[in-house]
Structure 1
Amino acid sequence: MLVLLAFIIAFHITSAALLFIATVDNAWWVGDEFFADVWRICTNNTNCTVINDSFQEYSTLQAVQATMILSTILCCIAFFIFVLQLFRLKQGERFVLTSIIQLMSCLCVMIAASIYTDRREDIHDKNAKFYPVTREGSYGYSYILAWVAFACTFISGMMYLILRKRK
């Protein structure tokens, strides 16, 4: 039982770390001489431009930013609630509250990655002066980590839903 508990805790912490890295790191769209994410655009590894309200489709990027941040926060809250429920739940009860919050985190990261997937081309086309060399790019590891975090938070949320407290 202790091994299962350690695995669940490690899996949850890994999910939170993936969400944090995907949110913060600057690699949602990468190429040979640039990298871009939902926070800034860097060309030649030195010239960085912070994304602000002068960008067209800025509200789209804000939606991605907000849902990724919310997802990370919800994942951390779910972990703390899980720890509290370990000590407060009666034997045989399920970790439903933890599951609901973790699945909400899953939903938020899915929304963020889906918005970016759908709107990326429009964002780059409408802001050509900020994205001059991004046509030849591809999705970066932060974007991929966001989708991996989606899968991890979904699996984790389902585990908490099925899991019952034992002695």
Structure 2
Amino acid sequence: MAISQTKILLLLSLFLLPTLRAVPYEDCGLKGSPVEATGVEVLEVTKKDARIKISGSTSKIINGGSVSVRIEGYGPGEIESDQYNLCQLMACPVAPGAFKLEFVEMLPPNYSSSTIDYSVELEVLDDKEDIIMCLNFKFKAVSPFVVSA
């Protein structure tokens, strides 16, 4: 039984699709932090917002805190800053081990219909307001529903 080339390409695309959403990131150089990022994905981008998922791990219990996000679009537009309650984004307390943090972030207003580059700074603070994770990453919105790293 022969499998068509189209079916093979479709099958390969299903395996490769998750890796296309991953974007490179760098931490802000926090030394000795109990929380470490292991991945950043931009899952969906519309004209108004982006759905972002951070994968990570923690070596200590996190009882609560906040997530601070600053996003800037290159070219015309403004900087968008938001703060979220950590326990509204994930179940608290966060037990030691792997975790996923997913949220929808508003994008700065933009007056261009072409490709837009966004720069993101994300900080996670614990319930004592100490920074326990800090990341910088960029993503490109090619059209309302296409993202590239």
Q: TM-score range by the shorter chain?
A: 0.3 to 0.5
Of structures 1 and 2, the one with the larger relative CO (CA 8 A, separation 6+) is: 1
Q: 1 or 2, which has the higher strand percentage?
A: 2
State the TM-score, normalized to the length of structure 2: 0.32
Q: 1 or 2, which has the higher helix percentage?
A: 1
